[in-house]
Structures are given as structure tokens and as C-alpha cells.
Amino acid sequence: MAIYPMRRAVSLGQMFGRCLQLSMALALLAFASACKPAEPAEPAAYAAGITGYNFTSEGVQEFYVNGQWGSNLPPFGGGGGTTCCVNVPKHWRPGLVAKIDWTMGRWTTPYESRKHLPISEQIACCSAERTLSKTVPIERYDPEGGRLQVFFLPNDEIKIWVSNYMLGHERHPSGMAYPKNPNQQEQ
């Protein structure tokens, strides 16, 4: 007579539990092996340089875009420099705005009548400034982005474009030319 080792009895519930564990382990292994590394996410925003153009007879003493310093601009000028930076969403969306704070200034007397004064006295006696603030829509732009360009227009109007093209370029989205003083003759 052969003697066999005694087997421990396994209940139906234990058997089901082991099968369930094995099935879950196999499913997890199959799922993990089927996954590929995630593609790097496209950035939601980027740091854009700030450029300004002034289409008015007053100087822009300074301006800020969402709290970031932009520059100062002469009357009917600008575009010569870019300051850093303001966050701009990679993709334009309706309702996209920026807060612009700026100070406009002008001399109240001709240079000839004040040139003998030190600059601090000229400013104290002969200049006028006003500080303004507006929240302005950003015009539609392409995903390629570019610099954030602030246009100071007559009647304290502001327009904002985002573009890689300088003002006056045929592909600039504003279609505008560089600011010109209407009282100055062309040479």
C-alpha cells in the first residue's frame, strides 16, 4: 500500500480568491507593459518680451503689463527695444486680457525757456503727467506667439498684439505703419 502525503483541503472560496488575485496580477502586468512613456506636455504659456509703440504727442514715461515693466516711449516712437517678460498663453482664447498701467507726460513750456534750469527744476516747473490704467483685450494671435506689443493710441486707447513681426512688416497683424508725427515734415 502506498502512502501519500495528506493534502490540506482548499475551500471553493479560497480557490476563487487565488484565481482572482492571479487574474488581477496578470491584468496589471498586461496593462503596465502596454503603456508607453507619456509625451512631454506642450507648455501652457511662455515668457514673451514686451515692446511698445506710441502713436501720441505725449511721451509714455513708463508702462507696465500685468505688473511687469515695459519701458518708456517718446512721442510718435517706440519699438526699438524689448524688455522681459510677461507670461502669455501659448494659444489665444476669447476673453484674453492684460492690465496696462502707464504714465503719460509732456513739457508745458518750450525747451528754450527752461534749458537754463537743472533737469529736476525743469520737471518741477514745466512738466505735466497723468497716470492711467486699463484692462485691455489681447488681439487674436497664432500659436507661434511672439513679443507682446502694446500700442498707445490717441484718446488714451490701447491695443495689444502678440507677433514675431515688427510694426510695418506686411505680416504684422495690426496692418499699421510705424508712428509718425503729423506735424513733422518728411525729409
The CATH number linked to 110 is 2.60.40
Cα 128 to Cα 121: distance, rounded to the nearest angstrom: 13
Task: For residue 71, tell me if it sits in a domain.
Answer: yes
Predicted pLDDT of residue 4: 45
pLDDT in tens, 107-156: 888 889 888 999 889 888 888 889 999 999 999 998 888 999 999 999 99
Residue 111 belongs to some domain of the structure: yes
The yes-or-no verdict on residue 7 having pLDDT over 60 is: no
The per-residue pLDDT for range 87-118, each reduced to its tens digit, is 999 999 999 999 999 999 888 888 898 889 99
Counting the structural domains of the chain, the total is: 1
Pick from 46, 56, 67, 73: which is nearest to 145 by CA?
Answer: 46
Residue 88 lies in a domain: yes
Rounded distance, CA 60 to CA 57, Å?
9
Tell me the average pLDDT across 77-83: 81
d(CA 97, CA 86): 12
Q: Is residue 92 part of a domain?
A: yes
Residue 130: domain span: 45-163
Q: Is 38 inside a domain boundary?
A: no
Does residue 29 lie in a domain region? no
pLDDT, position 108: 86
Residue-wise pLDDT for 36-72, tens only, equals 556 666 668 899 999 999 999 999 999 999 999 998 8
Task: Please answer whether residues 162 and 48 qualify as being in contact, where contact means their C-beta atoms are separated by less than 8 angstroms.
Answer: yes
pTM score: 0.71
Is there a domain that residue 28 lies in? Answer: no
Nearest to 82 by CA among 48, 45, 46, 133: 48
Question: Average pLDDT in the 9-16 region?
Answer: 55
